[in-house]
Structure 1
Amino acid sequence: MPTIFHLSLDPQPPNPKAPTLILLHGLLSSHLEWSLVIPHLQPHYHLLLVDLPGHSRSSSLLPPYTISSMADQVASVIQSHARSGKAHVVGMSMGGFITLSLARRYPSLCLSAFVSGATPFEGVTRWLATNSWILYYGFRLSNMVITDWMYDWMCRMIGMKEHRELRREILGNVKWEVIRDVYGSIVEEFTMEQMAEVDEVRCLSVAGEKQDQVEVTRRVGQVWKERGLSGRLGSRAFVVREAVHAWDLQFPEVFAGGIRSWVEREDLPGEFEVLE
């Protein structure tokens, strides 16, 4: 029976005491999303990279591709392959929602949580998520129209680094079942009230100023503060100015620095501005 693809990278130089970080990519992406971040993390941590169900090397896994079902499969990877069966969990976009689901439903497996671009959908974002066929055909159309050189130019305009190999994988990961299940489950599983249920794991929620829901991220931080989670656990919300949604491909060193600071319980880099 097919299982979720994972890649294990030991710290360099080797360090048997280094904790595990598991990195969860965004929708339609793959573990290659982290290629620019890895060099800044591997000297310090044991890294687990996965292709989430329905994506790239995990494409053969059968639906459903809901956030909760993917979190169940990531939990198995942590239990089987993380050092001491626990990990610091990092998630971008869809991977961030999976991270939050893990922290809520499998808190004993999560040493901490770092999520970016993963807040309850509101306004137009929520409307599009409830009409995910529009997004599906939008992805399909853009893939047909936008050539590689156009894509590279668009990325340069917003400061994203070149990622040709990842781009090829993204093109192959556009599947109706994945888009339908992911967006549908985010709408159902993530409200402000449910964000407050992430109450046993220290969690950082980050918004990229240019494309993410900054005010919604601010309210997530306020909910955590009102429920006492900021005081008890240290859970907080931040924004990174000038960052796009996939800013792990824009500012990889800053992204990695934020992860390290959060894991080590140090002050976050100056690019992180607290939302209160």
Structure 2
Amino acid sequence: MSPTTAPTESSPTPQPPTPDTIFHLSLPPQPPNPTAPTILLLHGLLSSHLEWSLVIPHLQPHYHLLLVDLPGHSRSSSLLPPYTIPSLTSHVATLIQSHARNSKAHIVGMSMGGFITLHLARQYPSLCLSAFVSGATPFEGITKWLAKNNWILYYGFRLSNAMITDWTYDWLCRMIGMKEHRELRQEILTNVKWELIRDVYASIVDGFTMEGMAGVDQVRCLTVAGEKQDQVEVTRRVGQVWKETGVTGRLGSRAFVVRGAVHAWDLQFPEVFAAGIRSWAEGTDLPSEFEVLE
């Protein structure tokens, strides 16, 4: 499968969004297994379901997969604001109820998708079999300042997209070990919208604090940081909050780091990312690349 093309050979026709639903792909396990649980994959800000193209081959033989373009993104770009985390989460909850096996799913979220996953676990725990998030911790320091002054991020995205050619972008990705994703890159360029950046960053600042992470206490949750670009120490403290409030002892929720990983390491180490998802969903030992943060 091409790393920039969503799977189609064994997939049903993609479901286009109606005025109040999000675009999604429903991928059956191979061979079809009616008892296979659902894994829902939620992409990062400005991205699309193509972000998971390299991870899918390692999951689809074993699970029913749901992939989406979240509201305001790509094939769901016609859905109107607000694009806050609670609003995006309500769309996702409706999708799980309608299309996941037994109306439940293992939820996997990268970055913005991770914050949606955490909010799902807090507000709709009955829909979540487990939660796996990467690069989604309460903002602190310069990250929090930028999120509060999100107009800087908006114009930064616009400027960098205008200045960086496809060739330069591909070269930069190779330098940090990310796989080619030219088709996804084109969708990211299209998805840069002020309303998205404004609503998502503001709602993360307002809705996610270190103290609030103790409220993720009804769903077994893994939070992981990519060592090179994510907030490793903040991720460690999330794990400590879960341990100190008894969530770790009761559910097994923990924090991890993957050494050498960038923020979007699903595009860097897709086999390891997928192996981690499988291990967490199945309750088995995580791959050796996952280092627990105590």
1:244 aligns with 2:275: no
Measured after TM superposition, the shift of residue 185 of structure 1 is 0.1
1:167 aligns with 2:185: yes
Measured after TM superposition, the shift of residue 2 of structure 1 is 4.0
Measured after TM superposition, the shift of residue 250 of structure 1 is 0.0
Q: Runs of 5+ in structure 2 lacking a partner? A: 1-18
Partner of 2:195: 177
1:116 aligns with 2:116: no
Q: What is the aligned-residue RMSD (CA, Å)?
A: 0.4
Measured after TM superposition, the shift of residue 194 of structure 1 is 1.1
Give distance in 2, aligned partners of 1:15 and 1:193. 41
| Residues 2 and 60, structure 1, Cα contact 8 Å, conserved in 2 | no
* Over 3 Å off, 4+ runs: none
Letter in structure 2 aligned against 1:109: L
1:84 aligns with 2:102: yes
Partner of 1:267: 285
Alignment map for 1:153-164 (pairs within 5 Å): 153-164=171-182
Measured after TM superposition, the shift of residue 81 of structure 1 is 0.1
Partner of 1:7: 25
Partner of 1:196: 214
The number of equivalent residue pairs is 276
| Identity value in percent | 84
1:207 aligns with 2:196: no
Give distance in 2, aligned partners of 1:80 and 1:62. 21
Q: Runs of 5+ in structure 1 lacking a partner? A: none
Measured after TM superposition, the shift of residue 5 of structure 1 is 0.6
Q: Normalising to structure 1: TM-score of the pair?
A: 1.00
Three-state SS of the structure 2 residue aligned to 1:32 is: helix
Letter in structure 1 aligned against 2:88: M
Give distance in 1, aligned partners of 2:20 and 2:235. 36
Alignment map for 1:129-168 (pairs within 5 Å): 129-168=147-186
| Residues 22 and 47, structure 1, Cα contact 8 Å, conserved in 2 | yes
Give distance in 2, aligned partners of 1:27 and 1:47. 20
Partner of 1:95: 113
| Residues 218 and 238, structure 1, Cα contact 8 Å, conserved in 2 | yes
Letter in structure 2 aligned against 1:52: L
Measured after TM superposition, the shift of residue 13 of structure 1 is 1.1
Three-state SS of the structure 2 residue aligned to 1:49 is: strand
Three-state SS of the structure 1 residue aligned to 2:235 is: helix
Measured after TM superposition, the shift of residue 50 of structure 1 is 0.4
Letter in structure 2 aligned against 1:42: Q
Q: Normalising to structure 2: TM-score of the pair?
A: 0.94
Partner of 1:64: 82
Partner of 2:16: none
Deviations 1:160-199 (A, max 9, x none): 0000000000000000000000000000000011111011
Partner of 2:34: 16
| Residues 21 and 90, structure 1, Cα contact 8 Å, conserved in 2 | yes
1:220 aligns with 2:220: no
